[in-house]
Structure 1
Amino acid sequence: MPEYLAPGVYVEETSFRAKSIEGVATSTAGFVGQARFGPTQGLPVLVTGFEEFQRFFGDGNDLLFAGVPTTNHLAHAVRLFFENGGKRVYVARAFRPAAGGSVDDSRSVSPAVSVLGSDRFLRARFPGRAGNVVVQVQAIRSGNLLTGSAGSRSVMGVRLGDVVEAITAASAKNRLVAKAGADAVEAANIYSVSFDAAGRPVLTNAAGTLDQNAASLHFVQKITVDLSIGPNLDGSTGGRVEAIQRVSTHPDSDQFLGRILRHEDPAAGIEPPADRSQRLFFDAAAAGLPSLPAQRTSFARDLLTGLVAAAPLTLSGGSDGILADSGAFTGGGSGHDASGLAALAEIEDIAIVAGPGAAALATPDDCQAVRDALISHCETLRYRFAILAGPRDADQALIREVRGQHDSKYAALYYPWLVAGAPGGARETVQYSPEGAMAGIYARSDIERGVHKAPANETVRGILRFSRNVNKGEQDVLNPEGINCLRFFEGRGYRVWGARTISSDPEWTYINVRRLFIYLEHSIDRGTQWAVFEPNNEELWLKIRLTIEGFLYDVWRSGALLGARPEDAYFVRCDRTTMSQSDLDNGRLICLIGVAPTKPAEFVIFRIGQWTADASII
């Protein structure tokens, strides 16, 4: 209660309305699969377009596992997700190094380049052949920074850790004769900037301090480095070139190469770079950063001259690893060490989960294990729904066998696969599992109609055809078992023709009913956190009822619930009839909510008969 201790007028704010519940997003997806590049651990990357996916995870060209080209299912699932209406997807990369290798060993290295006595100071940030790149290096010089008159000259416009080039008459001649070219760098001319007690710039190198008033000193230029990274050695990155401009080689500079291209290390307190899609990082341990000022000055000089002299730098040896097993998809760990599905568990916003490429693993046991892991993931976290696929060449008997291995109200199974054009024209067509396209259709339906609309009778975009033609007779067998068929209809195109979960419980037969309840439960969960530790009395119960009834009224108005009146569509009870004295004594508030969901018109039946003019309808 407010305190009133002195006479006066007091103005207070109060509320005369119930707190509102904002519906959670249901269209955000989470994918786990193998890619050509990108992080293998830590929080998944949020991707809002296929071009952004390519920056982080490489293009859609084939992965090379032990010399065998393998379809890049994850990349094409993401592409189809966006083509079919998806807006946001979190991507967790599954990576399995070759036998005896590790994630670090599979990063690209530069064995042909020796700078600072190490051939590993610049490394690919993540494993994968997409890290095999050529790095062009160019020294960039500013204008003359030397100002003032004879006897009082000084260098202006410099900061701590800047690297400058001092040009005298002799050094200018040597530079032009011995090493012609704009990138020529003479080690003897390189100085580092520090400041004295009076704040005046001091230029030093291994030979000592530069006399800025020397008659032989013509001009002083700040010198930085531009790096041009790419394209990939095998030309498979679509010609992407990454530019890192105006970086310094001195460790004290804000623009130090090792700071701009740092590699995140939570244990050491090193934060990730501003752009996690950078393909290179500076290996400070391999470079051996010195601590003494004089040594850091020499380090900056040697790194600058070494980079320019060694350019272009070729990084090679990166590997895509080998075909993942179920363990790579399932992942493990937490926080910065999380991988696979365990990494997706760290993100609360995800509502749709899939493992593109899992249906093409080496053994049926691995495929089944990943499907089980996806189902367990959704059942454990409660507010997610899994999209599953059967094997590539499954027929009616095999897809029924796959369906028989699972029973869950948190997953749906789709059949058959999709056929689309291959990237780069290497092959005419390629078969892709349907998870990515279906996740996009889920998102499209949610955005355009609402989560209560079954994601069926929707066109599948971005494909040429389905891998098998499913006719009505086949679907008569598959549909009752919860296998959602993708079918072609003359004049209506390629459509999703099923909306069932793989649950044996008739209460949860339909996808939209299950996902509607996920939406309601998650929204109420998130929107009523304010009630925790409030006094558990009639006032709180009334606030809870008004809050939830207001939310359900909006849901009913959107057409998600049956009933001509709100009282026919839902009820909310939170009073002495839902709680005993024991519940109150133990701090429990129990609210009973009932809703009447709309179910899809899966079977539309028109009864037609003959009648005469004098007949009547009873």
Structure 2
Amino acid sequence: MPEYLTPGVYVEETSFRSRSIEGVPTSTFGMAGRTEYGPVPYLLPGGPTVLPGPALVTSFTEYERAFGGLKIGEEDCPLALAARAFFANGGRRLYVSRVFPFVRTSAAEDAPPAVDANFASLAVPATGTPLLYWRARWPGSAGARISVAVTFRRGKNILIAGGDGALRLTGVQAGAAVEVLPLSGGNAPSPSDDAPPVAANVRTVVRRADGILGYLNGQGGFEPVAAGTAAFHLTLAVTVRLGERVDVYNELELDDRHPRSVGNVLQAADPADEFSLVWLDTVRPAAGAPPTLPGARLAALLGLGQPGAHLTRGGDGLEPTAQDLGGKEANPDSLTDPARGLGALAEIDDIAIVALPDTVTLPAAEQKTAVDLLIGHCEKLRYRMAIVDPPRDSSISEVRRFRAQFDTKYAALYYPWVRITDPSRRPDPGAPPPVIDVPPSGYVAGVYARSDVERGVHKAPANEVLLGINDFTTNVTYDRQSVLNPEGVNALRFFEGRARRVWGARTMSSDPEWKYVNVRRLFIYLEHSIEKSTQWAVFEPNNERLWASVRQTVEDFLITVWRTGALLGTKPEEAFFVRCDRTTMTQNDLDNGRLICLIGVAPTYPAEFVVFRVGQFTADAQRG
């Protein structure tokens, strides 16, 4: 109880209600794999350390801005196609962990990435000794399609006379660039907006210890504002283009002393724009060499011309292996060795559905390994479900052999692949539209998300229409599905007049208790929600008051779940039970600080086989 030491009136707040349990999200999707470009951790020798985690995107437009388009070079990108399918079928939240096996400076596994072999760049100026480099923030051959253009804007004269008659700079901070020109007949000159500044007239504004603003001279010292001059504030605009994407960064300053300088706004590690394409790398002068003058730096940036110059070099790295897709967990002893691949997705608690579309590009043995890593990821984390893609061009016998290699309640397999109009190609007039075959995981994940939002996680994500497809690569008939369904292969089928639908909701488990996807996902939802919302009970006094509070909290949550139709029974007592008392704990449990709550629920199973029995009866027969 509170401690009272001084006589007086004390008012305390208390609660007379049980704590509530909030349901966790169940429709958040996570994928790891190759993309055209986009965030990936890397550490360059003598360069930046860039350690982004998986990026959250909420639309395919946002995905394209972060990770590029549907192609990697000339090849289709399975992950991008899956992301497009996910959002087209009702998905709303997607985490992407980009996998990029770097070309390294040597064969050693821990060797640093080779800069030019992975990252596109542009020397500034293009001839002579470079003063700056525009570099692609992310590795990939797409960097060679990035162009950069820099323009300037000249403001009004920013010199004013102070109360003591001395001239003062106004409206600028340290690090701003100004063009200093002599007065003409006592009046400030009016230089043409199109005329580039003369390099010798450009100065960097610095602040003296007493707070007075002046210029940085060539020796790094302070140069006061001279009488008989005018100063024009120079700001920059950087335009970065990649295909149809155009990013414009306005009102940038020249020197890194300014918080809004080009180098600070467009830096590699933590830029103002999370998904910016380029960063500005400043070349340090050699030992004993004079510093680069601001006019030379400005002239080099403006020398790119219009509409700009393209970056060069870069590459798409090595072909990923199953181990690359599986990734690894973060090194606990090093902040510069983060998690990668599926290991990075493990750090995102909200993810409930995962897939690896790139497994279909691997050889058969490698694909088996990658699916094992995906299943192991879900089994270890317990609160997520995997969607597995079958190998390309699988026959009925081949997909059965593929399915026979796995036994898990945390994954589901869908067959066959889907055929869509190629979204990356414009059809020729008079020719049939170009089509491509894509794995089904992105489409099914979107159906999962749509079903969860519209009906709830307890509803089997089946008998749902697949949107955005032309056909299936294989026609699964009634007889063919009678072979696939008992083995846990969920069929995608076409029904005349009812479109193309998901026609199965089974896991890849041999345990009949966990045969259905919705039952497994319902228990994931219940377990995860209860775990997250009962953390308050840790270190509370382990007595009858705590037990009653935990019981009430869980019962209130399960009643809400029962009312949604997720549990069987006409009344709560038939749908679930919650026990947390001396019958669930021994004295040894109490002595060792264990609170044990026993919860039983009766889930609803899908009506997979709907049977109507029809028979004849006579007119005078009584109907009971």
Please say whether Structure 1 and Structure 2 have the same fold, judged by a TM-score greater than 0.5: yes
Question: CA 1:144–1:480 in 2, change beyond 3 Å: closer, same or farther?
Answer: same
- Partner residue of 2:504 out of 498, 503, 520: 498
- In structure 2, the partner of 1:142 is 155
Structure 2 gap ranges (5+): 42-51, 107-112, 428-433
The answer for the alignment partner of 2:19 in structure 1 is 19
Q: Which residue of 2 aligns with 1:349?
A: 350
Q: Could you say which residue in structure 1 is the equivalent of 2:60?
A: 50
1:152 to 162, 166, 191: 166
Q: Secondary structure at the match of 2:175?
A: coil
Structure 2: how far apart are the matches of 1:560 and 1:261?
50
Task: Tell me how large the CA RMSD over aligned residues is.
Answer: 2.5
| Counterpart for residue 590 of structure 1 | 596
Q: Cα gap change, 1:273/1:290 in structure 2, threshold over 3 Å: closer, same or farther? A: farther
Deviations 1:336-364 (A, max 9, x none): 62211011011111000001222222x10
What secondary structure does 1:495 align onto?
strand
Q: Which residue of 2 aligns with 1:278?
A: 276
Between stretches 560-569 and 114-123, larger displacement belongs to 114-123
Deviation per CA, 1:483-532, whole angstroms, max 9, x where unpaired? 00100111010100000000000000000000000000000100111111
Structure 2 distance, partners of 1:145, 1:516, is 66
Secondary structure of the residue that 2:583 maps to in structure 1? coil
Task: Report SS of the residue matched to 1:223.
Answer: strand
Report the CA distance between 1:182 and its aligned residue.
Answer: 2.0
Which of residues 501, 507, 510 in structure 1 aligns to 2:513? Answer: 507
TM superposition shift of 1:558: 0.6
More displaced 10-residue stretch of structure 1: 240-249 or 549-558 = 240-249
Alpha-carbon distance in 1 for matches of 2:102, 2:211: 53
Cα offset, 1:34, TM superposition: 1.0
The one-letter amino acid of 2:154's match is R
Asked if 1 retains the 8 angstrom alpha-carbon contact of 2:124 and 2:130, the reply is no
Alignment of 1:382-401 (within 5 A): 382-401=382-401
1:404 is displaced (CA, Å) by: 0.6
Deviations 1:141-187 (A, max 9, x none): 111112239953332111111111012369xxxx999xx97252312
CA contact 2:123–2:134 (8 Å) conserved in 1: no
Residues 1:438 and 2:424 aligned together: no
Aligned-pair identity in percent equals: 47
Post-superposition CA distance 1:365-415 (Å, at most 9, x none) = 111111111100000000000000101201101100110111100000000
Checking the alignment, whether the CA contact within 8 Å between 1:81 and 1:436 is kept in structure 2 is yes
Equivalence for 1:414: 414
Change (3 A) 1:204 1:581: closer
CA distance in 1, matches of 2:114, 2:59: 27
Which secondary structure state, in structure 2, belongs to the residue aligned with residue 274 of structure 1? coil
Task: Measure how far apart 1:96 and its partner are.
Answer: 2.5
Q: Of 161, 176, 180, which residue of structure 2 is paired with 1:166?
A: 180
Corresponding residue for 1:122?
Answer: 134
What one-letter code is carried by the residue in structure 2 that aligns with 1:566? P
Residue 291 of structure 1, CA deviation = 12
Task: For residue 64 of structure 2, give the secondary structure of its aligned residue in structure 1.
Answer: helix
The one of 530, 544, 549 equivalent to 1:543 is 549
Distance 1:91 1:183, change over 3 A: farther
Q: Distance in 2 between matches of 1:374 and 1:440?
A: 19
Pairing 1:185-204 to 2, within 5 Å after superposition: 185-204=197-216
Quick one: which amino acid aligns to residue 77 of structure 1? A
Q: Distance in 1 between matches of 2:216 and 2:379?
A: 64
Q: Which residue of 2 aligns with 1:522?
A: 528
- Change in Cα spacing, 1:183 to 1:117, as seen in structure 2 (3 Å) is farther
Which residue type is aligned with residue 139 of structure 1? F
Superposition pairs of residues 76-475 of structure 1, within 5 angstroms: 76-98=81-103, 102=113, 104=115, 105-110=117-122, 113-114=125-126, 117-118=129-130, 121-132=133-144, 133-148=146-161, 152-168=166-182, 182=194, 184-206=196-218, 212-215=225-228, 217=229, 219-231=230-242, 237=243, 239-264=244-269, 272-284=270-282, 287-288=283-284, 298-311=292-305, 312-334=308-330, 337-361=338-362, 363-425=363-425, 428-475=434-481
Distance 1:5-1:204 versus aligned 2 partners, 3 A rule: closer
Structure 2 letter corresponding to 1:199:
G
Q: What CA deviation, in whole Å up to 9, does each residue of 1:575-598 have, x standing for no partner?
A: 111111111111111111000000
Query: Runs of 5+ in structure 1 lacking a partner?
Result: 232-236, 265-271
Q: 1:120 to 1:345 in 2, by over 3 A?
A: farther
Deviations 1:462-503 (A, max 9, x none): 111111111111000000000001001110101000000000
Q: C-alpha distance in 2, partners of 1:538/1:291? A: 74
Answer yes or no: is the 8 Å Cα contact 2:149–2:304 preserved in 1: no
Aligned CA distance change for structure 1 residues 520 and 299 (closer, same or farther; 3 Å) = farther
- Structure 1 segments of 4+ aligned residues over 6 angstroms from their partners: 289-292
Distance 1:263 1:581, change over 3 A: same
**2:121–2:312 contact (8 Å) kept in structure 1:** yes
**Partner SS, residue 577 of structure 2:** strand
Counterpart in 2 of 1:234? none
Distance (whole Å) between structure 2 residues aligned to residue 474 and residue 617 of structure 1: 40
How many residues in Structure 1 have an aligned counterpart in Structure 2? 587
Opposite residue 205 of structure 1, the aligned amino acid is N
Structure 1 CA distance, aligned partners of 2:57 and 2:588? 49
In structure 2, which of residues 69, 89, 103 is the aligned counterpart of residue 59 of structure 1? 69
- Cα separation, partners in 2 of 1:152 and 1:7, compared to 1, 3 Å: closer
TM-score, reference length from structure 2: 0.89
1:332–1:339 CA contact under 8 A, matched in 2: yes
